[in-house]
């Protein structure tokens, strides 16, 4: 009976905290990552350990319209879209493996028994995606690169996203680096004889926070996988072995032919040529 009452009380507290406005004194910080990274969402309050994480919840919000639960009562929720990639540390920090663009947003860590115990983590993810405008493989193809910084109600200041080349020289995107929300576009030509690397950087008053790069693929060539190199090496080795065996066979046949052509003549000793016997 007491256990049920405690569970009901806890549910009420969670609901009250869920709809409570964000207070200005709540610890919060921003993280900047790229797709495929592993990220640690640490709480900035007193670290709990062991069984005390049973009072910890982690909530996720992509935007203000809705919130989902990733961790409840110290346990990863199986119905979470990230369940297979989530793990809770002994200090109650949350790890997300192999993050995707869909993981960008606001994460809230709460300790249900203390309404003043809360941490907000804003996960921002920088992505680059290409879109081809010409499908003829025999021509120098134009590719439009889209660089986006995804996050919770993310808005970028003017020129906070910038493009640079391999030498660090700044490049102009479409419309002088035109930004839509937090995205920038750059149209480049895919060269037929060389590859080039382009970098998109997110910068603020403190400098570059994060950057991602894209390498153009030569339209006149194909990428080789490690397996392709292994197969090529095996083919070359087989060819060398065949040449070696063929040379041995040819050399062996030549030796046999020489032996057959050799004639050995035995000369019968002439009686007249014998040395005279000694007279007794």
What's the CATH number where 63 sits? 2.60.40.10
Tell whether 183 and 236 lie within a shared domain: no
Tell whether 189 and 235 lie within a shared domain: no
Q: Which residues of the chain have pLDDT under 50?
A: 1-23, 50, 134, 138, 175-179, 221, 273, 278-280
**Domains contained in the chain, number:** 3
Tell whether 13 and 102 lie within a shared domain: yes
Local structure of residue 218 (DSSP, 8 states): P
Tell whether 94 and 41 lie within a shared domain: yes
Cα separation, 126 vs 217, in Å, equals: 21
Contact 80, 146 (CB under 8 A): no
Tell whether 112 and 35 lie within a shared domain: yes
Q: pTM for this one?
A: 0.65
Given this model, what pLDDT does residue 111 score?
85
Given this model, what pLDDT does residue 159 score?
81
Given this model, what pLDDT does residue 10 score?
42
Residues 6+ apart with CB under 8 A from 197: 165, 166, 213, 214, 215, 216
Tell whether 160 and 113 lie within a shared domain: no
In a domain, 280, yes or no: no
Tell whether 34 and 116 lie within a shared domain: yes
Tell whether 84 and 164 lie within a shared domain: no
Tell whether 26 and 119 lie within a shared domain: yes
Cα separation, 86 vs 258, in Å, equals: 78
In a domain, 44, yes or no: yes
What's the CATH number where 199 sits? 2.60.40
In a domain, 268, yes or no: no
In a domain, 273, yes or no: no
pLDDT digits (tens, 9 = 90+) for 169-214: 888 765 334 445 689 999 887 766 677 889 999 998 888 999 999 9
Can you give the residue range of the structural domain that contains 232?
Answer: 225-256
């Amino acid at each position: 009976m007491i256990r049920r009452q405690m569970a009901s009380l806890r549910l009420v507290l969670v609901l009250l905290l869920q709809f409570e406005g964000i207070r200005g004194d709540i610890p919060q910080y921003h993280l900047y990552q790229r797709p495929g990274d592993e990220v640690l969402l640490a709480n900035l309050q007193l670290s709990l350990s062991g069984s005390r994480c049973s009072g910890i919840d982690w909530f996720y919000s992509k935007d203000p319209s809705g919130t989902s639960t990733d961790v409840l009562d110290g346990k990863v929720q199986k119905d979470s879209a990230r369940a297979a990639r989530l793990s809770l540390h002994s200090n109650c920090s949350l790890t997300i493996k192999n993050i995707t663009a869909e993981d960008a947003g606001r994460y809230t860590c709460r300790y249900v028994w203390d309404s003043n115990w809360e941490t907000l983590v804003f996960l921002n993810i920088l992505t680059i995606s290409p879109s081809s405008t010409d499908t003829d493989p025999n021509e120098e193809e134009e590719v439009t690169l889209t660089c986006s910084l995804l996050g919770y109600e993310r808005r970028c200041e003017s020129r906070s996203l910038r493009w640079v080349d391999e030498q660090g020289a700044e490049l102009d995107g479409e419309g002088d680096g035109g930004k839509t929300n937090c995205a920038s576009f750059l149209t480049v030509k895919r060269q037929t004889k060389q590859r080039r690397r382009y970098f998109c950087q997110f910068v603020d008053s403190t400098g570059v926070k994060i950057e991602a790069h894209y390498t153009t693929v030569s339209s006149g060539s194909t990428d080789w996988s490690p397996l392709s190199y292994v197969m090529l090496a095996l083919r070359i080795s087989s060819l060398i072995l065949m040449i070696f065996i063929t040379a041995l066979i040819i050399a062996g046949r030549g030796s046999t032919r020489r032996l057959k052509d050799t004639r050995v003549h035995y000369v019968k000793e002439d009686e007249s040529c014998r040395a005279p016997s000694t007279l007794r």
